[in-house]
Every structure is written in C-alpha cells, then in structure tokens.
Structure 1
Amino acid sequence: MNIALLANPAAGKGRRAALLPAVVERLRADGAVVEVLGGDSAGEVRQRAHAAVRDGCGAIVAMGGDGTVHLGLQAVAGTGVPFGIVPAGTGNDFAVRLGLPGSPVAAAGVVADALRDGRRRAIDLARLEGGDGTSAWFGAVLAAGFDAFVNERANRIRWPRGPQRYNRAIVEELLALKPRRYRMTLDGTATEFDSVLVAVGNTESYGGGFRIVPGADPTDGLLDVVVAEPLGRLTLMRLRPKVLKGTHVYDRRVTTHRAKVVELAGAGVTAYADGERICPLPVTITCVPAALTLAA
C-alpha cells in the first residue's frame, strides 16, 4: 500500500517533530510505502494531498494538530480513500473525540493495523459553502462568535508571539465585547437573534478540550448548534470554565439545537472551523453522513 503522510513539524510547538521517523517506521511495518508530503505553505501541502488522492494512493495519514487534519480532510472527504490520524498537535480535538490514542507512535500503530486488516469507520463531516464562494470540509467545530473574534484578532497580533498572543487577544476582545445580530436557519426554519457566542459542531470540542457542543455525535447525521444570549464580560468569563465540562448548556442563557443543514449569517463575523480561518458569514453548513473513511 502507498501511504501519503502529511506531517507538520511545527505542530505541538515542535515538541513531537523528533517522532516523525518512528511514526514512518511504524506505518511501514507491514510493507507499506510511505511518502512524506511537505511544502512551503498550507496551500502547497493541500495541493500535494489532492494530487496523491488523484494518483490513487492507498491512504492519507495526517500527523499534526487539528490544522493538519483539516488539510487532509479537504483531500479525502467524500472519496472513500482511507484517512488516518496521528495526533501531534496541542489540542487534537478531532482525534480525541474519535477516541484515538494520544501517543503519536501508538496512533500510527492503530492506523497501520487498520489499513492492514481493512478496518474502517464511517464518520460524518460538515460541508461548508460560503457566500463568497468558499467551499470547505470540517470535522470538529465551526466558531462564529466570541472565540472566532479572538482567533481573528490573534492572527493580527505580532507581539507577543506564541500562545501569549491568544491571551492578549482574549483580553482585547473582552474589552470590545458586544452582541452581534445573527440570522440562523435550521432545516428551513429561520430565526433572528443577538448573541456573543455561536458554534456549530460535528464533534463536541475545540480549543484543546472546550466541550462547546457536548454530545455532538459524528455518526448521527446531524450538526449540533450552541447559541448564547448577549452576555456581559464577567458573565462570559464565568461561563467559559463550564465549557470544559460541557455544563454551560444547562445555563438558561444558552440554547442548543440539532439540524442537518445550518445557514448562518451575521455582519462583520468571520467563521473559523477546526481552528482555521474559513470565510466571512453567511455560510451554509451541511452534515454529510459517512463522508470520511477513517482507518482506525
């Protein structure tokens, strides 16, 4: 079998880059041919992954965090090509929620064994179509509220570097916090509301374990949606720790929904999915059952 391995050496702050040879060795253990796909940009890696699928590779494996997995999903979604995940990022939300091992070498062993034995799992994915013509797949969560604004601000910050820029972005977004007007349509039923937090999930967590849409099941053919009423700064920050446990959904100011198709619009809001910048609203998100063939 020919395996195309997408490997991000910067994932997990670079701490797991040294494990790449061991991961490759484990994937090769049953005679597979492994080609490591790299590139100077995410766009180049994505092109190489698409080319590998077109050329008939036996499987795509992503070694990295949710961003690397997101790149791989764009190539394999809906194709039936087996996809393996070797978690090597900081959060690894999609892999964790699929029950995969946290150790990269152990995860590579699971992938290798699954490919050898023909073991596959059918996993739902979310298909996004933006009003600006953007098309993308995502596996975990789309953020279109406070957390999306934090990501957007953090991407503009040049100092400090690293995780500290997110702390600065959170503080600055709290100071700038204001409700936004949204229009949301769930399977054809439309509503309008003001909110500071909107999230759409295929699986339940983002940001390294924040269970924003607890109970989201990537095999039920539905997307889970969480909406928070307009909240003040202190209330929002008090609610945030509850998201780690998923208990925020019991707050009377938080509502949850499930739908196959979610249409979401809001002026001045940019959507992030799997932690990646996608496009400005409006977007239409559709759950596509069994779009991913997971080798696990």
Structure 2
Amino acid sequence: MGKATPITTNSLNSSTFGAVQTDSQAWHFIVNPAAGGGKARQRWRTLLPKLQTAFPRMTFAVSTPATSLGALAQDAVREGKHHLIGVGGDGTHHQILNGLMVTGMISKVVYAPLALGSGNDWARSLATPRKLDHWLDHFESGSIQSQMIGHLTFPETGAEHYFLNVAGFAYDAEVVRIAAEERVRHQWMYPILALSYLSEYRPPTVCVSPKPGTRGSAQDIWEGDVHTINVGVGRYSGGGMQFVPHADPFGHQLALTVAQKLPRWKVMANSWRFYAGSIGQVKGVRTSHLNSVHLQPTAGTLECEADGEWLGSGPVTVSVARDRLRVLTAI
C-alpha cells in the first residue's frame, strides 16, 4: 500500500453538527474519485466549495492508483484523525473499513458515508440522505450508533476480509464479477445482469452449517444446489434490493438468506420481491439469524463478494467480528 499524501484541509464547527460535533472534533474526508464509474471525481469538485463552507476546518485526502483507500484510512487514524467521512459507494466504504481494521484502532473511529457511488446500499441501510443539503441536515438530526461488522475467513488460503453491509455468494457473487469484468457501473447494473445471466448460471452444491466441521442436528445443517446465499449486516444490496430484509445493522446477529436452485421463471416471477422485502415468502428460500455460518461447496465453485467487491471463491466462514463501528445514522 502506498502512503497517503495529505491534501490541505479543514474540519467542522459545533453549530453545524449539533450533538454529533464538538469543538475538538475535526472531520476528515477520504475520497474515491473512481466511485460511481468515475463520476465521483467531478461531483466531488462540485461539492467541495459547499463542504468547505459547512466544514471550515475540514481535511481530505484523495485516493490514487498508487495510494489506496485502505492506506489513506490507516494514515488518518494513526495521525489522530478519528472522525472520518468516506466519499464514494459501497466498495469505497468496504476498502476503508478493511484499512481501519488493520490499525486495531477502529473503536476510536466515528464514520459517516457521503454517497457518491453507484448503488450506495450501505448508505441506504443507514437511511443516509443523498442530496447534500439533506445530508448536512442529517448531521444535526442524526445519531451515532454502533453497528456490527461482518468477518469473512477463507480457510484454504488464510485470507480475511471484513464487510459492513452484505456479503453474497453463488449467483450474487458471479453477477458482481461479471459487472467488474465488463466495467458496468450504474444503479441498475445488478438487476439487469442478474436477469440476463440466468440462463447461463450453473448452481454449485453447498453445505451450509453453523461452523467448519459441524455435524449437528439436521435443522442446523442444509446441503443442496443454491441459487444465491446472502449474509447481511445491512438490509440493502444490488442497488436497492433486499435479499436480507431481516438484517439489523445495530443488532448482534447476522441475517442469512439461502435460496436453493430455482427455475428461471420462478426467479423472474418473484423478482419484485427483491425490492419489497418479502423474498422469504418464496418456497425454497430460507431466512434466519446467526452468529456464524460456514459455506462449504461440495460440487461446483462458490464465488464470494462483499459490499459489491468480488473476493474470490470458497469455502468460507462468515461471522460477527469482535469489533463494531460507530456510524452516523438517521435510524
């Protein structure tokens, strides 16, 4: 990772942020100009003068090909900047989170998203406004709450990743990979690709169990061909879809949805439920809450994504991380 190069700055005043802001707090913006298919670069330039008026002491740093968002986050907290605003979409916040987790100082951080991405699903899960005027008001009316963090471990490689919204497996992850390969970045990316790719999809067979090696009661273990699996901290993913409508970011258990192999007509006929939050009513779809789950492919390949970032393939264990993240929310 490259070392962050500080860019001149500022931070907020207490009157702008009400209970959220004090005179000793300086908010630091971490900007991803590539978010939203590159549109965030110009949007940031447009918003910056208004932000500097609202935050007369703000500081900010912008990621580059040589300096990652994770490196910027690490540098910020090590320099004592603990009130952070991530500027971008779900992938931006995902990378910043993973940078913060490396420092071991995430408990000191207060974080808020400024949604300039494509889907902005985590911001939606926090009820964060997208229009700047409403977003600024949000700092007066919002509150700081402690949300869960999801933890992904890949036993075959030893790799670890953290997520703050939703992790997806099987079909969901394959769609994310295809979108990245085709450089498709807009709000309707996921639903368009999800429906157009259905006929080509070959579902893997997956054993779903509470933890690796578990061979408990039949009700705790399920194995079969899967259409998609989602594990959620937040409710929304894929540009406003609700694959885990029972998720609660401020709770203590992850939300799990397992959709077994479904015929194409059934997926299309029930696609409206992805937005209505009633996916659990479809026959062949299981929903539950849990502290951890192990996903072991027994046939085929189980691909994985988290917060819209493709991470590779399983087996994988998903659990609630020990640490939590303090976030600004309207919920």
Question: Please, what TM-score do these two structures have when normalized by structure 2?
Answer: 0.77
- Structure-1 residue corresponding to 2:114: 86
Kindly indicate whether the alpha-carbon contact (under 8 Å) linking 2:149 and 2:162 is maintained by their aligned counterparts in 1.
yes
- Structure-2 residue corresponding to 1:221: 252
Q: How many angstroms does 1:215 deviate by? A: 2.1
Alignment of 1:110 onto 2:143 = no
- Structure-2 residue corresponding to 1:121: 145
Larger Rg: 2
Q: 1:183-262 counterparts in 2 under 5 A? A: 183-186=207-210, 189-262=220-293
Letter in 1 for 2:144: R
The alignment partner of 1:120 has SS state of: strand
Kindly indicate whether the alpha-carbon contact (under 8 Å) linking 2:190 and 2:239 is maintained by their aligned counterparts in 1.
no
**Where in structure 2 are there 5+ consecutive unaligned residues?**
1-24, 215-219
Kindly indicate whether the alpha-carbon contact (under 8 Å) linking 1:179 and 1:195 is maintained by their aligned counterparts in 2.
yes
Q: 1:175-186 counterparts in 2 under 5 A? A: 175-186=199-210
Cα RMSD of the aligned pairs, angstroms, is 2.8
- Structure-1 residue corresponding to 2:94: 70
Kindly indicate whether the alpha-carbon contact (under 8 Å) linking 2:190 and 2:238 is maintained by their aligned counterparts in 1.
no
Of 85, 103, 126 in structure 2, the residue corresponding to residue 98 of structure 1 is: 126
Kindly indicate whether the alpha-carbon contact (under 8 Å) linking 1:125 and 1:138 is maintained by their aligned counterparts in 2.
yes
Q: How many angstroms does 1:19 deviate by? A: 4.1
Q: 1:53-68 counterparts in 2 under 5 A? A: 53-68=77-92
Of 285, 297, 306 in structure 2, the residue corresponding to residue 273 of structure 1 is: 306
Kindly indicate whether the alpha-carbon contact (under 8 Å) linking 1:87 and 1:104 is maintained by their aligned counterparts in 2.
no
Question: Please, what TM-score do these two structures have when normalized by structure 1?
Answer: 0.85
Alignment of 1:292 onto 2:325 = yes
Residues 165/31 of structure 1: CA separation in 2 closer, same or farther (3 Å cut): closer
Q: How many angstroms does 1:72 deviate by? A: 1.8
Q: Which moved more, 1:193-202 or 1:101-110?
A: 101-110
Kindly indicate whether the alpha-carbon contact (under 8 Å) linking 1:23 and 1:105 is maintained by their aligned counterparts in 2.
no
Q: Matched residues in 1 for 2:107 and 2:114: separation?
A: 20
Letter in 1 for 2:199: L
Aligned residues: 289
Q: Aligned residues: percent identity?
A: 24
Of 71, 79, 84 in structure 2, the residue corresponding to residue 47 of structure 1 is: 71
**Where in structure 1 are there 5+ consecutive unaligned residues?**
none
Q: Matched residues in 1 for 2:198 and 2:57: separation?
A: 50
Residues 214/289 of structure 1: CA separation in 2 closer, same or farther (3 Å cut): farther
Q: Matched residues in 1 for 2:88 and 2:284: separation?
A: 36
Q: How many angstroms does 1:223 deviate by? A: 0.7
Q: How many angstroms does 1:91 deviate by? A: 1.5
The alignment partner of 2:201 has SS state of: coil
